[in-house]
Structure 1
Amino acid sequence: MTPGWDPEDLPEDAYEDASGTMVRPYTVTRGRTAPERDDLTLITVLTTVEEPLDEFGRPLRPQRLQPEHRLILDSCRRPLALAEVAAALGLPVSVTKILLGDLVGLGLLTARAPLSVARAAGGARHDLLAAVRDGIRRL
């Protein structure tokens, strides 16, 4: 425990959900405290898969999704950053990462880097950049 920090200092509704019932974050994740995926960042863009299929090409019908999973799938019908999803759910980022990892693992959600990051990471040709650098030096 952090010195000088007392759980009694928290507001009464600190662990309550919208209906006023007490919900601890580890309850939402079924006791898991760390995501299975380590590639999810605050700016990872998430999108619901239109028609997910299983390995045999049949429509995937996931069983027993938690309410938070359903909210994520509804929210991500348009691309959203992980931070936006966490804010919309009102859950800590660490909890949201665990839930998102579940959905990505089930094939119900896609995760990708933002386009600007993806282009910078994979789109730059080093030989072209070196040629531009050399041309600028000659000026």
Structure 2
Amino acid sequence: MVRPYTITRGRTAPERDDFTLITLLTTAQDPRDAYGAPVRPGRLQPEHRAILARCRRSAAVAEVAADIDLPVSVTKILLADLVSQGLLLARAPLSVARAAGGPDLVLLAAVREGLRRL
């Protein structure tokens, strides 16, 4: 078993502070740096490779942490490494209401009534 301290190289917080449990992550198809040059990944740890493999399909931070069996705090540090290298894309999730054009008032009323019956 490798200790989280070793995996994160002694870091206790990610460089980015904007990851939440529901931040969506996707592996970059054609990673480029800030100047438009192709990114060549450096030497990646096994955990970094596992994250990239998992994020071929969009996944939330919590899902990635569960899949690679690491604490969320450690996972966020590794995710920040990959985002800063341009290998992983992170975005806030779209709200269901906004994606559907607004809240469904009929559905909300039905949920409210169901909760009242409990």
- TM bracket, shorter-chain basis: 0.7 to 0.9
For residue 47 of structure 2, the aligned residue among 55, 63, 68 is 68
Tell me the equivalent position of 1:48: 27
Q: Give how far 1:32 is off.
A: 0.4
Q: Structure 1 CA distance, aligned partners of 2:79 and 2:96?
A: 20
Q: Which amino acid letter does the alignment assign opposite residue 85 of structure 2?
A: L
Alignment of 1:1-139 (within 5 A): 22-116=1-95, 119=98
| Partner-residue secondary structure (3-state), 2:17 | coil
**Shift in alpha-carbon separation, 1:104–1:113, aligned structure 2, 3 A:** same
| Partner-residue secondary structure (3-state), 1:70 | helix
> Percent of counterpart pairs with the same letter?
74
Tell me the equivalent position of 1:133: none
Tell me the equivalent position of 1:12: none
Larger radius of gyration: 1
Unaligned runs of 5+ in 2: 103-118
Q: Structure 1 CA distance, aligned partners of 2:70 and 2:90?
A: 19
TM-score by length of 1: 0.66
**Shift in alpha-carbon separation, 1:83–1:30, aligned structure 2, 3 A:** same
Q: Structure 2 CA distance, aligned partners of 1:26 and 1:54?
A: 28
Q: Deviations over 1:21-49 (max 9, x none)?
A: x2111110000011111110000000000
Higher relative contact order (CA 8 A, sep 6+): 2
Q: Deviations over 1:105-137 (max 9, x none)?
A: 1111111111117948xx98xxxxxxxxxxxxx
Tell me the equivalent position of 2:112: none
Unaligned runs of 5+ in 1: 1-21, 125-139
